[in-house]
Amino acid sequence: EERGGILVREGAKLESAKCSERLSTGALVEEVAKQGDRLMYRLLQGTGPETGWVAIELPDKELLVPEPMPPKPGSLKVDRVWQLQEALIELLSKPKVQKPMQEL
């Protein structure tokens, strides 16, 4: 039975609960964690759960294809760009980052 998209689970184990939505074909995701052949992702573009665990591949089919970073212009949602910018500002303001930068 063809359902379209990729099955998403709440945890890394195959016994974990299934999410109600599937990750859409062609979605752009960011790798958060990896356990064996399972990947925890954060959704950047496309439809499906904002985060979850998916299989990287099936025996006869590659489900996720690595993309070089940074992403192509226009491929990130505006909200995600703001989140990344805020995280970068927070990181760069930490003393452990500021001190080496001042020594340059």
Global pTM value: 0.65
Task: Give pLDDT, residue 103.
Answer: 79
Q: If you search the block for the tokens 């759960």, which residue do you land on? A: 49
For residue range 6-60, list pLDDT tens digits in order. 999 999 999 999 999 999 998 989 999 999 999 999 998 889 999 999 999 999 9
- Compute the average pLDDT of residues 54-76: 85
Helix H or strand E segment including 10? none
Amino acid at 12: A
Distance of alpha carbon 2 from alpha carbon 25, whole angstroms? 12
Distance of alpha carbon 6 from alpha carbon 41, whole angstroms? 12
Residue 1 pLDDT exceeds 60 = no
Band of residue 88 on the pLDDT scale cut at 50, 70, 90: confident
